[in-house]
Amino acid sequence: MKTTVDARGLACPQPVLLAKKAIAENEEVIVLVDNEIAVENIRRLAVKTACGFSVTEKEGGVREIGLVRIGATGQAPVDAGAVAAELTCAIVPEKETGPIVVVLSDNRMGRGDDVLGDVLIRAFIHTLAQLKPLPATIICYNAGVKLAVKDSTVLDDLQQLAKAGVDILVCGTCVNYFGLGDQIAAGRISNMYDILETMAGAARLVRP
């Protein structure tokens, strides 16, 4: 089955997430994008999923990306050597078993421009829902507790993660410091002992 995904105008990581979902459900996918970052992200997705990849320049800066699953009817032969060479760069050591814990210590991601930091943290938390396996716990402390308030731009994503079974710990001391006691709408108020115990028991800590 063949389908087309129009990802023009969408910010990272939406184009690659849409492409990933489409190729999982279809043998052949055409993805329309309008920036080079999206092209490279989807190119890496093709390598990781061993899909055939092609890109064609269209008018107005649009790129038409073709993805074909291995084994799909009419697929061009894949250069296994080239794929293996690219995959060599992506090989990581076998991961230790145990929970993944995500630590959010700020309501922005990175340092520099605050507007960009807002965009990045929204993209990061939205993308967490695509992580397999999902993190066992998300810890919010310091300004990170502001992500869990009622008017937070990432509230819907946090609530969806909670519904999926992710435990969201919100630092009680930080909530009181910022005067947010009646505004927390995602997760549960926690304490430093629980936070430390969770971090100490994690196989991997992820800090954006």
Q: Where are the domains of the chain?
A: 2-88, 100-206
What single string gives the DSSP state of each residue in 10-47?
PPTTHHHHHHHHHHHH-SEEEEEESSHHHHHHHHHHHH
Read off the pTM: 0.64
Q: What is the pLDDT of residue 143?
A: 96
Q: What is the pLDDT of residue 79?
A: 42
Exposure of 150 by Cβ count < 10 A (0-12 exposed, 13-18 middle, 19+ buried)?
exposed
Query: 100-206 adopts what CATH topology?
Result: Hypothetical Protein Ychn; Chain: A, (3.40.1260)
Q: What is the pLDDT of residue 130?
A: 83
Domains 2-88 and 100-206 share a fold: no
Could you read off the pLDDT of 9-67 as tens digits, one per residue? 887 778 888 998 898 899 999 999 998 888 888 888 888 888 899 999 988 889 999 99
Q: What is the pLDDT of residue 73?
A: 41
Task: Supply the CATH classification number for the domain 2-88.
Answer: 3.30.110.40
Measured distance CA(103)–CA(145) in Å, rounded: 11
Task: State which residues of the chain have pLDDT below 70.
Answer: 71-97
**Single-letter code of the amino acid located at 113:** D
Q: What is the pLDDT of residue 71?
A: 56
Residue 149, classed as helix, strand or coil, is strand
Measured distance CA(103)–CA(59) in Å, rounded: 43
High-pLDDT (> 90) share of the chain, %: 54
